[in-house]
Homo-oligomer: A and B are copies of this chain.
């Protein structure tokens, strides 16, 4: 029996991650990655957010809208596996038959009238279309004795983030410079390079638009250091 279902976007997320490169691959790993979900009033009948603020976390079901890959592949290369392949349904890859993702986010605030949710721990790209919001219910969703398959004991590499003097100077252009600095450090402390760049392992310069800043950096895997070499504030 064929059964298709057309999902309607009920809202959009505003996130500090403007592009795929630099966006965390899991929710919660960059706690300072805060953003807002803006619900479309068309799909937000009166009272639809009532009671949600009692929960500390929510599930967001969203569209992997930057996934432009049309071919259906059986296996993918999870970034953490350094080139080893894994079946698509044994991973959380965006490159799946139905390009929907689910992220658990920390719920900071619910603006019921404005239909805006403030969240943190984002791993979603700016303007990601949202299909559903559900409360996180630990009684049901938290499986303490779950076995994590190939992801177990695969510690995320933690880089030390260092700032070149001129990049440190540029921080003064930011409104909340300490918060922004810490947000960039949390984001870059995790391996952001893709497999190809990791295997080449050249000392090339990378660039990512993080929040209001264009961040240029180098990754030094031997010393486990990421060096921010340039920072440019973007006009909104």
Within 8 A of B (CB), among A190-230: none
Residues of B within 8 A of A140 (CB): 26-28, 104
With known contacts A5-B7, A98-B131, A100-B132, A148–B143 Cβ distance under 8 A? no
- A194 → chain B closest CB, angstroms: 20
Question: A236 interface residue, CB < 8 Å from B?
Answer: no
Residues of B within 8 A of A27 (CB): 140
Within 8 A of B (CB), among A69-106: 72-75, 85-92, 96-100, 102, 104
**Interface size class for chain A?**
35 or more
For the A-B complex with A45-B72, A51-B87, A141-B141 known, give 16 more contacts whose Cβ atoms are closer than 8 Å: A1-B129, A4-B9, A5-B6, A5-B98, A10-B98, A48-B87, A49-B90, A51-B86, A51-B149, A52-B90, A56-B143, A61-B100, A104-B141, A135-B148, A137-B149, A142-B142
Question: Of residues A73, A97, A145, which shows the largest number of chain B Cβ atoms within 10 Å of its Cβ?
Answer: A97
Residues of A within 8 A of B (CB): 1-10, 12, 26-28, 43-52, 54-57, 59, 61, 63, 65, 72-75, 85-92, 96-100, 102, 104, 127, 129, 131-152
With known contacts A1-B12, A102-B134, A147-B55, A74–B89 Cβ distance under 8 A? no
Residues of B within 8 A of A99 (CB): 5
CB atoms of A49 and B143 under 8 A apart = no
Residues of B within 8 A of A102 (CB): 59, 61, 102, 134
A230 vs B24: C-alpha distance in the bound complex, in angstroms?
55
CB atoms of A49 and B1 under 8 A apart = no
Question: Of residues A8, A45, A90, A102, which shows the largest number of chain B Cβ atoms within 10 Å of its Cβ?
Answer: A90
Complex A-B: 26 CB contacts under 8 Å: A5-B63, A7-B98, A10-B97, A27-B140, A43-B97, A45-B74, A45-B88, A48-B89, A49-B90, A50-B75, A50-B87, A51-B150, A52-B87, A54-B90, A55-B148, A55-B149, A57-B147, A61-B98, A90-B135, A92-B137, A135-B148, A135-B149, A135-B151, A136-B146, A138-B143, A142-B142
